[in-house]
Amino acid sequence: MKPKNLQKRRVSIILFYDNNGNILLQDRKEISKAGEKYGLFGGGIEEGETPEQALIREVREELNFDIKDFKFFKKETKIIKETSLEIERWIYLASMPDIKNLVVSEGKPIIIKFVDSFNLKMLSRDIDSLKEIYKYLKQK
């Protein structure tokens, strides 16, 4: 049963990865909202935006990168009971951009081995998504 008076938040997020087992994460230590140190790039879907439009805008805002080639992974809904928040997350995947060409406006980009990311201080929903994506990519 859903808690009463749920606030809803819709977000589009992306995981950049390469064929060498590396992923690009956002170092959020200086901009953390919930105690997380690392996270995925992306953010809120604004009124009238599609999840894809929001993703393109967020990647442009956070990385000064015009993403054109990305793939939908999944949509998930999570309820955070402690905050009475329901989060709809559209998750996308894309090849790793050349980080030398990125101009980061939020946090700092960090490249890490995919398997090492499961032990980072991240939101549990991000860790869960990373594990799912890792399993998916290993099967490809």
- Tens of pLDDT, residue by residue over 96-132, are 998 888 888 888 888 999 999 999 999 989 999 999 9
The 10s digit of each residue's pLDDT in 7-64 is 999 999 999 999 999 999 999 888 888 888 999 999 999 999 999 999 999 999 999 9
CATH architecture observed for domain 7-139: Alpha-Beta Complex (3.90)
- 1 pLDDT band, cuts 50/70/90, is low
Q: Give pTM, 2 decimals.
A: 0.91
**pLDDT tens for residues 60-78?**
999 999 999 999 999 999 8
Beta strands 7-17 and 85-95 are parallel
